[in-house]
Structure 1
């Protein structure tokens, strides 16, 4: 066995789906699986009872919660997740850990030793209207390895869809998508969307010429950009059936629509647009919240 896949669990429905997905990923990679649950000791805010004279007692309120009981609940939650993982992939070596601390901090630390971290899109807390929880979004931005965010509903058919923008930051996502498609024996759709606003504009050869592109030139350049981004990968992964799909349209909307029929969406953390200081681009953020399938965001190791 080599490598490690880490899955964060909290008892939510998307967490259960993440466990099954992580177990299958570990089996396909020949890796071990570590089930991790992080928890924070609750802070009581119950008002103390007033004294007979009517005054409230000074000092912190007493904690009427059993620490042993909380840990026992956490261990039970993890044991259930381990059982689910072993049922999904009986031949995978599964370990587990119950770690005091905030889930974001704990899982980010776990990502240092992992080749992949898998989490549910939303946990047991947060707001019902959000499709991706704060833990998932933060981990995608700060994790030290690729992060896969899983929703409650899974599908095993359909292609792996790769969002390509031709940037150097997106190169690790191309590697990840081809390797994943090969392991899953799934077709790969290499998807590139462009508009006249995000397409690179070459300078005119003649300074006196009108700064314009001949009809069809931008589309040809964008198709060439996609082919260049995939160069060499088809030879390395000859069993992967690849479809090139170049669309004239807004990237976020086009990829969200493509996710309806996909089993996995793969994107880089940041593309060729946006601000250099941002750890997570607008496209990857939009997919985390609105994609109809699991999303893997690949930023590589830093």
Structure 2
């Protein structure tokens, strides 16, 4: 990590299962339980608060489960960041420093392991700030199998070359799709679009950004399709995962009357990206207890804690409906 006051790092993730981050309650419409969307684009997203909350819990799991850890083992209140069962956050473990805490005793005195005591802050905001995860490549079925759809306004954030269809009714295919299929048109779900013949087919597999920095595999990059900004939202919302479930009466083993409900989710194999801003703990006088001695926390300590927490997203998941096969998320460039 650099010595700047803060550093922003882009993370890319792939959904291993459908992901449902619900809005709460029921809605009139195509499904009963809808997912969170951006207000401006109406595109599904994973809120930064959801990522941060899960990351904090998983960081706590990793620290508690690491028998060889050289840092202070967090308390349960550290996982929450505030008082729990009359126990206050310690303020000197990796979880407290990385994700913040409140409610520690004002000007709390802590044994520094050197025969003296030092004061720590009553509260500290998190040294890692999470943005919302937005869709970059969205999987859609077509006549040539699955393709991953994106649009120019999102692609330009992470790709060095400009790729844009001339009209709404046209799309741009990757170089590999053009070489392997003789196409004049291509369907994306129910939508049937022309190929833009004047736009060169890009080879996304040659992008060092995608392969080396973001770790997106070739199987996806070879099947990327770029559509016009105006229709990307319609394609995404028309091809979300939609499931129907029912509650079972445990006494009879049959479905309960009136308990049928539907819900939607971001489908499996969607590529998303989000940013984490790492602040320098030295600027906030944050401290860590390491091997029984108090020392100043460093930016690398925060990044290590976040990295360790991301490893559990692939197993424990994020969002709701996890007992129904939802939620697992792989951070592609978390190392």
TM-score (norm: length of structure 1): 0.26
Tell me which protein shows more strand as a share of its residues: 2
Task: Name whichever structure is richer in helix by fraction.
Answer: 1
The TM-score with structure 2 as length reference comes to 0.24
Of structures 1 and 2, the one with the larger relative CO (CA 8 A, separation 6+) is 2
